[in-house]
Chain A
Amino acid sequence: MITVEKDHEKVQEAIQAGVRDYIVKPINVEMFKRKIRELFKLNEV
């Protein structure tokens, strides 16, 4: 999930719904790439 930094309540709501991975805008490119690599590694895609 991509959200904006001020959305703390929304992040909590998403986590409670089961969202495990999120990044914030403005997107940090290195963080974004790391998340993508982690997701592909975890799911063996």
Chain B
Amino acid sequence: MNPFAKILVVEDESTSAKLIIYHLRMMGFKNTTEVTDGNSALEHLKKEKADLVIADWHMPNMNGLNLFRALREEELWQDIPFL
């Protein structure tokens, strides 16, 4: 695994986001970004592509499933692994 892989964590619950990022760091990943909804995730991806997106289902504005659909509709983002 590439420790410099860019991982975007999309989670509105702060405790859950912190836990996910903690475990990613423990696995050796150094390049993590946290946003709180699907719209913010898309805005972030327009500026910087990610190697992996980890998204919660339940979020305000744009939930995880609609974020997944938006990623798969855009050629630039359709290959990004999604968890």
Bits for B1-26, please: 1 = Cβ < 8 Å to A, else 0. Answer: 11001000001000010011001100
Distance (whole angstroms) from the CB of A17 to the closest CB of chain B: 6
A6 to B83, CA, bound (A): 18
Report how far A16 CA is from B27 CA in the complex, Å.
Answer: 31
* A1 near B52: Cβ-Cβ < 8 Å: no
A3/B52 contact (C-beta < 8 A), A39-B83, A40-B2 known: no
Q: Is the CB–CB distance between B72 and A18 below 8 Å?
A: yes
Q: List 18 A-B contacts (CB under 8 A).
A: A1-B64, A1-B68, A2-B16, A2-B55, A2-B83, A4-B57, A14-B57, A14-B64, A20-B82, A21-B81, A32-B20, A39-B52, A39-B81, A40-B5, A40-B52, A41-B1, A45-B2, A45-B52
Residues of chain B whose beta carbon lies under 8 Å from any beta carbon of chain A = 1-2, 5, 11, 16, 19-20, 23-24, 27, 51-52, 54-58, 64-65, 68-69, 72, 79, 81-83
